[in-house]
Amino acid sequence: MDNINVLIIEDTPEQSEALAKVLLENNYNTVGIATNFKDALKLFYENTIDIIIIDVFLDGKPDGITFAESINIIPNSSKPFVFLTSSQDRQIFERAKLTKPFSFLMKPFNELEILYAIEMAVEKFYAQINVFMSEEQDTVVSNDYLFIKKKNSLKKVAINDILYIEVEERYCNIITEKEKFVIQISLTKISNLLDKNKFVKTHRNTIVNTDKIEEIILADNLIILKGDHKINLSDTYKDFLKKMNILS
Amino acid sequence: MRKLHFLFFLILLIFPLFIFSQVNPPLITFSDCIKKKADKFPKEVNFNKAQFFYLKKNWDSTLVYSMKQLSSSNNTELADYCHYFRGYSFRELKLLKEARSELNLVSKKFIFYNLVNYKFGAISLELKEFDKAISYFNKIEKLPIVKNGDYKLSNIYENLGTSYLHLEKYDIAEDYLFKSTSLKIKENDTLSIISSYLNLANLFYVQYKDKQAIPYFEKAYSLSKKVNDFNKKREASLNMAVVEENRGNLKKALIYRKELEQWKDSLHNQNKIWAVADFEKKFAVAQKQKQIKVLKVENKLKNTQRNGLFFSAIGLLLILTAGVYLYGQKVKNAKIILLQKNKLDELNATKDQLFSIVSHDLRSSVNALKTSNSKLSATLETKNYNELNQLIIQNSTIANGAYSLLDNLLHWAMLQTKQLYFHKESIHLYSIVQQIEYNYKPLLLDKTLTFENSVSKNIFIFADLDSLKIVLRNLLDNAIKFSNENGKISFYTRETISDFCELVIEDNGIGMNENTIKELLADSPLLAKKNNSEIIGTGLGLQLCKQMIRKNGGTLAIESELNKGTKMILTFHKTTNNG
């Protein structure tokens, strides 16, 4: 599980520092603090960014919105973002609203509010709302990562690192090469959200990352994954083998 | 010459107005005949009119209608009559040449051709063509004469005599004149007799047969005394005077002259009287005409006056109507304006009140901050760190209060001017309550209040986040403000059946009475008056809450008991599908 990388775009040092402090306390990783539009773009493309916090007004100009607009144009490069603003001016909102998905936070804000806003932004961006706050689920699934709520903050797990997922009632055990942890999401939901060509069901409560399969022992109904994890293969789910290109 | 002059004069008198005779003439007078013709041809309207006017001696009309008859009708039988009418009329109008040419158009077969000849004779005589006249008269001389007819034999004889006299054929003239005189004596027409005597006298006188002439003059003179005709009297006198003058008997001549003058005067007088009468008549007519004119003018004037009055009345009516209408409009407008003015005054008063309260609050806040700051610096000098911390906490409390007031004010203004951005979304109520509470932790701690958030973690409401925060902030602020030390504030939800979710904010503070609740919930722009010095605020917060809740489609209810606590119950829409 990795920390979330945050890019802060804010021209007032006191505010950006306070923000960075809050983020740090909550295990977020501040990648950089940009004070203008140009720096922001540079930092955005040089680093792996998960979330951007944008002040609408940079030096009195609504460059924050301009930034959101420009990253929105390029497909697949956009990331979840939160607008910070001290003004409830309708015109600004009308413009900002067009950069969907749109979430904002009014200044002044407290610790809880910024954390909430970040979570909301992630939910909205990946179109899986009411996840982090509910009692049934704590994970948002994107193409590359699982965003998991741990206490007050978010964590991410690269999907490519997952070996297999084991479901126990309302919980899922995520097993990667390095660690093993529990998330709260239903099996149907997660199997719907994951790439079906990559993750296949091998058992009633097991989903396997096919990239991580080392060996399949049909005689024993066993799948051996990287790191010597042994998984049972039930007869009902053997069909996926036909789709695979088997060398040997 | 003097005598010829007399003769001519006499001849004119001889022409009678209705006189006739015949070739082989019908034994009937011309006037009876034309009446019969008119009865015979009742359809010849013009002829009827012509004969009617002929008998009436209205010559102009006779001319007009006879001409019409001639041009419109081909009745040859009546044509001769018409030509005769025209000839006769022309002669009467002294248009002798026209008369003669018109009479020439009469055919020779005309049964009254003797009349035509008679007329020719008369015309010739007037034109002094005596030979022609004699020949015309001779043609009809021997023809039988109708009694009381259109002319008399004596007239013919007299005319013939006169003609011969002018031709100086005195013998023949004498013969005819004697015949004429003797006929006239038989007829016993005094005036004619006088003329005849005078003619005879002149006849002799011209021949210087004074002895024969004078007795006729005298006879004429004596007869003239018996008649009333001044002209005849004058002639007789004049002739006598001339005779006496010629005889050298000037005395007698003078007497006759005087008589003549008398007759002349009489005639003159008569003429004068007639003239006066005529003038009077004319004058009267003129007067009448004038009166008529005046009346006409008066009428005209009246008409114009009436029209003027009528139009001005209509105009006035229109003006009146327009005036009434405009007045009505004005009154209506004034009413509306008055209403608006009252409303505006009320609103303005509210605004002013708000201003004064807010500025008062701010003033006291800032003042407190000022005094606190001076205390702070004083404490800093004494390095009493314990007290320093306390003062800082106090300061931040004051600053927080002022800030929330200003925040409310800002939102209020934005709401009033409709500038507030409003966007409903799904909101996790529990998290929001937590976030709100976070800011009030120091205050809660300060009053040692217990805070409990028992909002269900599964509830998502559909509302605008910022306005919801404002509402919750204000309500929590109020709850803290009205709580006693060591009190308890709790937020919890009550699930209702429908799509709504109830959020209750409960405290066990001082509470309030029914009236205050009513006042707070009353839908008036007026703010609650500041009647409890320290704790009761502007009322702005709650007003703002009410409006924000309404805007979010929610409701607000208050349950409270004095000294036991208050429940603020809010309802919001739930987000319909969870996820």
Mean pLDDT of B358-382: 87
CB contact under 8 A, B578 and A135: no
Q: In which band, very low, low, confident or very high, does the pLDDT at B524 lie, cut at 50, 70 and 90?
A: low
pLDDT at B533: 45
Query: Who wins on pLDDT, A88 or B568?
Result: B568
Q: Rounded CA gap, A143 and A125, in Å?
A: 12
Q: Is-contact B222 B239, C-beta < 8 A?
A: no
Please give, rounded to a whole number of angstroms, the shortest distance from the CA of A118 to a CA of chain B: 13
Length of chain A: 248
Confidence of residue B150 (pLDDT cuts 50, 70, 90): low
Instruction: Report whether pLDDT(B200) > 50.
Output: yes
At residue A83, φ and ψ (nearest 5 deg) are -85, 140
Q: Which residues of A touch B469 (CB under 8 A)?
A: 106
Q: Where are the alpha helices (DSSP H) in B167-189?
A: 170-187
- DSSP letter assigned to residue B574: B
What is the reported pLDDT for B2?
Answer: 47
Highest mean pLDDT among B168-172, B224-228, B325-329, B546-550: B325-329
**pLDDT digit string, tens, across residues B12-22:** 444 444 444 43
Which pLDDT score is estimated for B549? Answer: 92
Range with the poorest average pLDDT among A182-191, A226-235, B138-147, B486-495 = B138-147
Residue B293: alpha-carbon gap to chain centroid: 26
Question: Could you tell me what percent of chain B has a pLDDT over 70?
Answer: 91
Rounded mean pLDDT, B158-179: 82
- Mean per-residue pLDDT for B72-97? 82
| Residue type at position B413 | A
Q: Of B83, B116, B149, which one is at a domain's C-terminal end?
A: B116
Residue B319 has pLDDT above 90, yes or no: yes
Residue B322 in domain:
no
What mean pLDDT, rounded, does chain A reach?
87
What are the C-alpha distances in Å from B173 to residues A22, B48, B156? 174, 42, 12
Q: Give the separation between CA B231 and CA B290, rounded to whole angstroms.
A: 38
Check pLDDT > 70 for residue B242. Answer: yes
- Cis upstream peptide for A101 (omega within 30°): yes
How far is it between the farthest Cα atoms of chain A? 70
Residues B222 and B232: their CA atoms lie apart, in Å, by: 11
Q: Report the alpha-carbon distance of residue A19 to residue B220 in Å, rounded.
A: 167
Q: How confident is the model at residue B475 (pLDDT cuts 50, 70, 90)?
A: very high
CA distances from B97 to B109, B124, B126 (A): 22, 10, 11
B429: nearest CA in chain A? A133
Residue B108 has pLDDT above 80, yes or no: no
Among candidates B411, B428, B438 on the partner chain, residue whose Cβ is nearest the Cβ of A133: B428
Contact yes or no for B456/B466 (Cβ under 8 A): no
User: Highest-confidence range of B3-7, B263-267, B526-530, by mean pLDDT?
Assistant: B263-267
CB-CB neighbours of A183 under 10 Å:
21
Q: Is B328 left (phi over 0), alpha (psi -120 to 50) or beta?
A: alpha
Contact B419 A90 (CB under 8 A): yes
Q: How confident is the model at residue B23, as a pLDDT?
A: 42
Q: What is the pLDDT of residue B288?
A: 93
Q: Is B330 inside a domain boundary?
A: no
| Residue B109 domain-assigned (yes or no) | yes
Structure tokens at B564: 């036991």
Identify whether B86 is part of a domain: yes
**Side chain identity at residue B170, one-letter code:** Y
Q: Does some domain include residue B538?
A: yes
Rg (CA), chain A: 21
What's the mean pLDDT in B171-195?
80
Which residues of B, range 437-456, sit inside 8 Å of A by Cβ?
Answer: 438-439
Q: Which of A142-146, A178-182, B347-351, B556-560 has the lowest mean pLDDT?
A: B347-351
User: Following DSSP, what letter does each residue of chain A receive, concatenated?
Assistant: -EEEEEEEE-S-HHHHHHHHHHHHHTTEEEEEEE-SHHHHHHHHHHS--SEEEEES-BTTB-HHHHHHHHHHHSTTT---EEEEES---HHHHHHHTTSSS--EEESS--HHHHHHHHHHHHHHHTT--S-TTSSS--EEE-SSEEEEEETTEEEEEEGGGEEEEEEETTEEEEEESS-EEEEE--HHHHHHHS-TTTEEEEETTEEEEGGGEEEEETTTTEEEEGGGEEEE--GGGTTHHHHS----
- Looking at the complex, report in whole angstroms how far the Cα of residue A73 sits from the nearest Cα belonging to chain B: 24
- The two beta strands, A51-55 and A2-9, are parallel
Q: Which residues pair with A209 in a beta bridge?
A: A199
pLDDT at A231: 87
CATH label of the domain that carries residue B438 = 3.30.565.10
Residue-level pLDDT at A244? 72
Cα B390 to Cα A14, B372, B375, B439, B485: the distances in Å are 25, 11, 11, 18, 18
Is residue B494 situated within a structural domain? yes
Residue A133 is nearest to which of B419, B423, B457, comparing CB atoms? B457
Residues of A in contact with B579 (CB under 8 A): 128-131, 134, 137
pLDDT band, very low/low/confident/very high, at B537 (cuts 50, 70, 90): low
- 8 A C-beta contact, residue A2 and residue A155: yes
- Six token digits for residue B299: 């009428």
Nearest residue to B366 via CA among B393, B408, B403, B413:
B403
The 8-class DSSP code of residue B537 comes to -
Q: Is B502 helix (H, G, I), strand (E, B) or coil?
A: strand
Pairwise pLDDT comparison (B551 vs B361), residue with the higher score: B551
- Mean pLDDT of the region B226-253: 78
Domain containing residue B485: 421-573
Domain boundary among B78, B95, B116: B116
Q: Write out the two tokens for B545.
A: 């809450």
pLDDT of residue B311: 95
Residues B259 and B556: their CA atoms lie apart, in Å, by 144
Give kind and range of the element (H or E) at residue B506.
strand B500-507
DSSP string for residues in B66-127: HHHHHHH---HHHHHHHHHHHHHHHHHTT-HHHHHHHHHTS-TT-TTHHHHHHHHHHHHHHT
3-state secondary structure of B148: coil
Whether residue B134 lies inside any domain: the answer is no
Q: How far is A120 from chain B (nearest CA, A)?
A: 9
Domains in chain A, please, with CATH? 2-125 (3.40.50.2300), 160-243 (2.40.50.1020)
DSSP string, B422-468: --EEEEEHHHHHHHHHHHHHHHHHHTT-EEEEE--TT-EEEEEHHHH
Q: How does pLDDT run across A192-237, given as a tens digit for each residue? A: 888 888 888 888 888 899 888 888 888 888 888 888 888 888 888 8
Report pLDDT for B16. 43
Residue B66, pLDDT > 70, answer yes
Helices B76-92, B96-104: inter-axial angle, 10-degree rounding:
160
Under 8 Å CB pairs connecting chains A and B tally to 52
Residues 32-91 of B with CB under 8 A from A: none
Give B38's pLDDT tier (boundaries 50, 70, 90).
confident
Q: What ipTM was reported for this prediction?
A: 0.85
From B59, B81, B116, give the residue that closes a domain: B116
Statement: residue B327 has pLDDT above 90? yes
Distances (CA, A) of B117 to B98, B134, B143, B151: 15, 11, 12, 12
Residue B439 maps to a domain: yes
Q: Which residue of B has its CA nearest to A133?
A: B428
By the CB < 8 Å criterion, does B413 face chain A? no
pLDDT at residue B1, rounded to an integer: 43
Give residue for tokens 């036991």.
B564
Instruction: Work out the minimum CA distance from A177 to partner chain B, whole angstroms.
Output: 31
* A135 to chain B, closest Cα gap in Å: 7
Mean of per-residue pLDDT scores for chain B: 82
pLDDT at B127: 82
The phi, psi pair for A60, rounded to 5°, reads 80, -5
DSSP class of residue B284 equals H
Report the pLDDT value the prediction gives residue A43, as an integer from 0 to 100.
93
CA dist., res. B137 & res. A186, Å (int): 164
Predicted confidence (pLDDT) at residue B126 exceeds the cutoff of 70: yes
> And the tokens for B142?
């021997």
Q: Return the number of other C-beta atoms located less than 10 Å from residue A80's C-beta.
A: 24
Q: Average pLDDT, stretch B147-168?
A: 77
pLDDT of residue B140: 79
**pTM of the entire predicted model:** 0.58
Contacts of A126 in chain B (CB under 8 A): none
Q: Determine which of A9-18, B45-54, B317-326 has the lowest per-residue pLDDT on average.
A: B45-54
DSSP state of B539: S
Q: Is the confidence at residue B68, as pLDDT, over 90?
A: no
B424 touches chain A (CB under 8 A): no
Burial of B321 (0-12, 13-18, 19+ CB in 10 A): exposed
Whether the CA torsion B98, B103, B106, B108 is positive or negative: it is negative
Return d(Cα B176, Cα B158) in angstroms, integer. 6
pLDDT 10s digits, B201-221: 888 888 888 777 788 888 888
Q: How many domains does chain B have?
A: 2
Q: How far apart are CA A78 and CA A61, in angstroms?
A: 22
What are the contacts of A225-228 at 24+ separation with CB within 8 A? A225/A163, A225/A164, A226/A163, A226/A177, A227/A163, A227/A177
Rounded to the nearest angstrom, the gap between the alpha carbon of residue B67 and the centroid of all alpha carbons in its chain is 49
**Is B421 in contact with A90 (Cβ distance < 8 A)?**
yes
**Once rounded to an integer, what is the mean pLDDT over residues A102-112?**
86
pLDDT bracket for residue A4 (50, 70, 90):
very high
Task: Return residues 135-194 of B near A (CB < 8 Å).
Answer: none
Residues B144 and B132 sit within 8 Å (Cβ to Cβ):
no
Shortest distance, CA A48 to any CA of chain B (angstroms): 29
Cβ of B372: how many Cβ atoms within 10 Å?
16
Measured between beta carbons, which residues in chain B are less than 8 angstroms from residue A128?
Answer: 579
